[in-house]
Structure 1
Amino acid sequence: MTPVRSTSRRATARRFSLVDDARWVRVQRAALSGGVAAAIVAALRQAGVADGIGIWAATALAAVVGAALPVRTPARALLRWDGAQWWWQRAGEPLAVTPGVVIDLEQWMLLRLNAATDADGVRGRAPPERWIALSRRAHEAQWASLRLHLFLAAA
């Protein structure tokens, strides 16, 4: 008689209080401000108003300034696993989501939350996706449990 070896594991219900990583916010600001400055530089060059290396230095400066702006601490959001479904709540009513780990560097994770689809394949009424950058430093007390739940619930 062979023993029953069941590998089905269920992640227990759990709540995670999350906040975006400030460094990720700075990277986004640098990319946005550098992109806007590059578009302005391209328009100026096309018009023949400006030329030379100085305008590209201005683009780099805009990116540095965008990254250097202070980041205010955003309100914490709640990511909840109830044993069957993930829920995202920032302000107001909770939204059923399907989290996907896009990047996992053990010390830092990038999650993409998609609105969950119902039985008919129709998406929820909320925005289609939300990106969340998380760092181990900001979520030390719940980091191991969060990673475990994300990977066990997806299996």
Structure 2
Amino acid sequence: MFPSYRRVPAGLVATILVLTGTTSVLRGEPVIDPEGPFRMGEGYAERPATCETIKRWIDQAPATDDRITLTIAGPLAAVQWDGTLAYLVMCEEKDVQVMCVTYSKEGRNVGDTVLFAGGYARYGARRIMLDPCLAAPEE
């Protein structure tokens, strides 16, 4: 038989978990740095990543199968159009590159500074694809 222990009321345990902020860890929800460029769902980050900071953030993406949005701002390194989709690439090839898959180039050219926000997926050590993605002029 197991020794008898005094049981703690379930309400007290729940209150402690809420006050200490550990409920999200217990439910398996990803932890997102509020200063970072990632958001759950379709929210925009207040501080977008840049080509310089994405090197640090790429390994801090939340581990989840749920939708994550990455927000990043910087100059376009490549712009391609296949007649249906536009592929806008930010950051140089030697660094971490971010590709935004969207429906229009909207007259954008290499060197234009834009803001991407889209569904995050990582492909290898230095490639990120945002699909679907919105590209807007950086304000």
Normalising by structure 2, we get a TM-score of: 0.25
Q: Which has the higher helix share?
A: 1
Larger RCO (CA under 8 A, 6+ residues apart): 1
Larger Cα-atom Rg: 1
